[in-house]
Amino acid sequence: MCGIVGLYLKNKKYNKDLGKFLTEMMNNMSTRGPDSAGFAIYSTERKKKYKYSICYNENNIKEIKKNLSKEIKDAKIKIISDHFVLETSLKPVKVISIIKSYDNLNLVGYGSSIEIFKQVGNPRDVVNNFSLKNFSGTHAIGHTRMATESAITTDGSHPYSTGEDECLVHNGSLSNHNNLRRTLKKKGIEIKSQNDTEVAAGYISNGLSNKKSLKDTLIDGLKDLDGFYTFISGTKNGLAIVRDEIACKPAVVAETKDYVAIASEFQAMAHLPNVNKAKIFEPEPGLVYSWGK
């Protein structure tokens, strides 16, 4: 089943409440996906600084922090549950190769704006562990997973990020992901897991790296990605949603002058301010909707 949510703030006055709103949205979607959860938060980008969201599992974080600080001189490390966010002005190619040299570290995502966290367990516990309610930002995406295509692991949890400041959450399943994985790998897109959604994330990364817009990439995806899906995809500029043409997987959008909220079910957004005055609609099958700068 899986639950997906997205929130794009049009009014800055709510930036400080982004985490609080998303917490409620994810808690309400825990019935659709009790196995694992994850979220991506976008905040205003900081010039020449990159943030790396890294999962250190149960390893000794003090030692990792000590060693990383030696290799990356201006490293700022913020530890949250079994993840930490490393901030540095060093070039991504260099930082990624350093992170890869640690067997016990897993790069969840990176960029100038994005921070990503995911964990196995009930979404209510996961959002608590990461103190999601304290996050602020401009837009966010969340996922509560009921595992179907691959195992209940952090590797199988959403959101997937296969490119700078990109992320994707998915409700559904793809049937041509093995073939597409091979094609994308040949094009140099790195796909780490056996999960179908990561392949779709790689497909989007490939499109964006060819200077296509997120919207156009998702339109192309309608003919290249075979299966059932409602996708919510994020970049540092905004959010997009698309449902396959059969549209078995639900989605509802609520738009007010202050925000755009997307969720699998209306109950995920019932707590948002003035939602009863929002323009509420279901995204039409095979149409891409996007909001952003």
Partner 1 sequence: MIKLNLKKDSLRKVNGLLQNLDQKSNDRSFKIINPDGNHAICAGLKEEMDVTIDGHVGYYCAGMNMKADVIVNGNVGTGVAENMMSGSVHVKGNASQSAGATAHGGTLIVDGDTSSRCGISMKGIDIIVKGSVGHMSAFMAQSGNLVICGDAGDALGDSIYEAKIFIKGEPKSLGADCEKKNMNKKDQDLLKSLLKKASIDENQLTNFKMYGSARKLYNFNIDNVSEY
> Can you say whether residue 236 is alpha, beta or left, with left for phi > 0 and alpha for psi between -120 and 50 degrees?
alpha
CB of 254 to partner 1, least distance (A): 9
The answer to whether 284 contacts partner 1 (rule: CB under 8 A) is yes
CB nearer partner 1, residue 199 or residue 268? 268
Whether 2 is catalytic? yes
CB of 232 to partner 1, least distance (A): 18
Q: Check: CB of residue 18 under 8 Å from CB of residue 140.
A: yes
If DSSP codes are grouped into helix, strand and coil, which group holds residue 49?
coil
d(CA 114, CA 257): 24
d(CA 128, CA 106): 21
CB nearer partner 1, residue 96 or residue 270? 270
CB of 33 to partner 1, least distance (A): 16
Please report, to the nearest 10 degrees, the dihedral formed by the alpha carbons of residues 199, 152, 22, 220 taken in order: 10
Contacting partner 1 within 130-159 (CB under 8 A): none
d(CA 206, CA 200): 10
Radius of gyration of the chain (CA): 18
Contacting partner 1 within 216-275 (CB under 8 A): 247, 250, 252, 265-271
CB of 122 to partner 1, least distance (A): 19
Please report, to the nearest 10 degrees, the dihedral formed by the alpha carbons of residues 119, 125, 131, 133 taken in order: 120
**Count of residues engaged in binding partner 1, rule: CB under 8 A:** 16
**Closest CA relative to residue 114, chosen from 27, 190, 53, 175:** 53
CB nearer partner 1, residue 159 or residue 172? 172
CB nearer partner 1, residue 77 or residue 280? 280
Which segment (162-170, 212-220, 221-229, 282-290) binds partner 1 by CB under 8 A?
282-290
Q: Which of 2, 55, 167, 248 is catalytic?
A: 2
Indicate which residues carry an active-site annotation. Answer: 2
Query: Which chain residues interact with partner 1 by CB under 8 A?
Result: 247, 250, 252, 265-271, 276, 280-282, 284-285
